[in-house]
């Protein structure tokens, strides 16, 4: 008998947010044979052009990154909402989430923290709560965007899971300038959360909704 959630949906405002917030957890779930769906709502064309890259560079990179994590191609779902303008498309984003809920019928949803200050992240977190209110929802951390973060849930990870997360993040060559994507930063957060459990590695999540079926 298989225990625990079997179908997991990761809602990422932009490509790489899901890997940053729960890449180790994704790697662990894949290893355990669970179905993981990765949904990115923007491939950030404008940002890519502003930084001198082809407009579809993040689409290319997220496909490499999710493949590195072990997510099947058919479980990667990409939208093309304009970066930094999600509040204008709030209803459209909600409707896409509702379609995904009906199509996938997931057990657990991962969204950005509700305390994330990025406007796009806020929309995905809030609309995720609306669309999946009858599901367990966990909020992942992206420390540079979180004024506060309540680490009330943990997924214990092995060193190999963190390494897979790092390997996935390395696929985002266009984002190498981001200080939070350095190996040192990723290991640091994983070790910090592991320290809260008295050793090892972990990823931490806010409990936004917890559904128990007994």
Each residue's pLDDT tens digit, 167-178: 999 999 999 999
Please tell me what DSSP assigns to residue 116. Answer: B
Give the pLDDT band (50/70/90) at residue 163: very high
Q: Where are the domains of the chain?
A: 7-209
Q: Encode pLDDT of 98-138 as tens digits.
A: 999 999 999 999 999 999 999 999 999 999 999 999 999 99
Give the pLDDT band (50/70/90) at residue 2: low
Question: Would you state the pLDDT for residue 214?
Answer: 57
The Cα–Cα gap between 188 and 179 comes to: 12
Across the range 76-81, mean pLDDT stands at 98
Helix, strand or coil, per DSSP, at residue 88: helix
Label residue 136 exposed, middle or buried (CB < 10 Å: 0-12, 13-18, 19+): buried
User: Is the pLDDT reported for residue 31 higher than 80?
Assistant: yes
Give the pLDDT band (50/70/90) at residue 1: very low
Among 169, 175, 211, 214, which Cα is nearest to 190's?
Answer: 169
User: Is the pLDDT reported for residue 23 higher than 70?
Assistant: yes
Question: Would you state the pLDDT for residue 168?
Answer: 98
Question: Would you state the pLDDT for residue 5?
Answer: 83
User: Is the pLDDT reported for residue 11 higher than 70?
Assistant: yes
User: Is the pLDDT reported for residue 90 higher than 80?
Assistant: yes
Whether domain 7-209 has CATH 3.40.50.300: the reply is no
The Cα–Cα gap between 27 and 32 comes to: 9
Residues 80 and 45 sit within 8 Å (Cβ to Cβ): yes
The Cα–Cα gap between 176 and 5 comes to: 33
Bridge-partner residues for 105, per DSSP?
A: none
User: Is the pLDDT reported for residue 47 higher than 70?
Assistant: yes
Give phi and psi for 55, each to the nearest 5: -65, -20
The Cα–Cα gap between 11 and 125 comes to: 8
Q: What is the DSSP string of 130-196?
A: HHTTTSEEEEEP-GGGBS-----EEEEE-HHHHHHHHHHHTT-GGGTT-GGGSHHHHHHHHHHHHHT
Average pLDDT, the chain: 96
For the record, the structure tokens of 147 come out as 């004024």
12-21, 117-126, 205-214: which range is least confident on average?
205-214
């Amino acid at each position: 008998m298989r225990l625990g959630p079997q179908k997991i949906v990761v809602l990422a405002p932009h490509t790489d947010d899901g890997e940053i917030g729960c890449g180790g957890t994704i790697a662990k779930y894949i290893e355990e044979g669970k179905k993981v769906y990765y949904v990115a709502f923007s491939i950030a064309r404008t940002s890519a052009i502003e930084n001198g890259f082809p407009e579809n560079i993040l689409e290319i990179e997220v496909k490499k990154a999710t493949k590195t994590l072990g997510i099947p191609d058919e479980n990667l779902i990409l939208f093309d909402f304009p970066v930094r303008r999600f509040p204008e498309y709030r209803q459209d984003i909600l409707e896409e989430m509702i379609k995904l809920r009906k199509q996938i019928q997931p057990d657990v949803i991962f969204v950005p923290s509700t305390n994330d200050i990025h406007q796009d992240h806020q929309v995905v977190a809030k609309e995720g709560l609306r669309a999946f209110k009858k599901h367990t929802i966990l909020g992942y951390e992206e420390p540079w965007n979180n004024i506060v973060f309540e680490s009330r849930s943990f997924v214990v990870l092995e060193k190999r899971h963190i390494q897979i997360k790092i390997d996935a993040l390395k696929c985002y060559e266009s984002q190498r300038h981001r200080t939070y994507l350095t190996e040192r930063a990723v290991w640091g957060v994983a070790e910090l959360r592991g320290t809260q459990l008295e050793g090892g590695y972990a990823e931490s999540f806010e409990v936004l909704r917890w559904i128990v079926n007994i």
